Chain A
């Protein structure tokens, strides 16, 4: 099992540019989560999907952020336009979803720097 795969590992972009982060969840996992980690705010849940359908996007900071899950093996988080305050590590996680206590399996994250 390769685990949750995120790409790219690092992304440096200029303010105003579009950024797309990618995630491949563990096969067979029905839930996919996007988290953001910063020193100031810690780990924040942005959005999560169940069977490719967005369930709760209340953590998405603003309309510049959007997430999609076109199929069970792929999800994207897009920021357009990007701003320096978006600089953070973005994690994708998946879960088999067998009840609320199913463990989350995190990828190794994408470190985004917006200059």
Chain B
């Protein structure tokens, strides 16, 4: 049973466009929400993370929006570049245990 639901499964965006990935959770014990980026043949790498007392966090072209009441959070990739083509995982954590979403494969067309 997936504790974090992620959508869409895949998306294609033109270079310069915006990629949006959505996640939802049920367990209110989660207190840390990271996003990981994974390239083929590599392990996931931390991209950006947010705590539930913050509604938005921005790092460069990547922004997390967090809605605590709706138990939803999303990743926005602005000005998408071909190098952003990867699989993105949202996750939620409590007690040092990370639960991952199913992943979204993002393809950026040049």
Interface residues of A (CB under 8 A from B): 4, 31, 33, 42-43, 45, 48, 50, 55-56, 91, 93, 95, 97, 100-101, 103-109
**Of the 9-residue stretches B16-24, B74-82, B89-97, which lies at the interface with chain A?**
B89-97
| With A45-B99, A48-B96, A104-B46 already in contact, 13 other A-B pairs whose C-beta atoms are closer than 8 Å | A4-B43, A33-B98, A42-B2, A42-B101, A43-B100, A45-B97, A48-B97, A93-B43, A95-B96, A100-B95, A101-B31, A101-B34, A104-B98
Q: Are B45 and A56 in contact (CB under 8 A)?
A: no
Q: Which chain B residues border A43 with CB–CB below 8 Å?
A: 44, 89, 100, 103
Judge whether B51 is part of the interface by a CB distance below 8 angstroms.
yes
CB distance from B72 to the nearest CB of A (A): 19
Judge whether B49 is part of the interface by a CB distance below 8 angstroms.
yes
B46, B51, B93, B98: most-surrounded residue (chain A CB, <10 A): B98
Pick the 3 closest A-B CB pairs, nearest first.
A106-B43, A43-B100, A103-B46
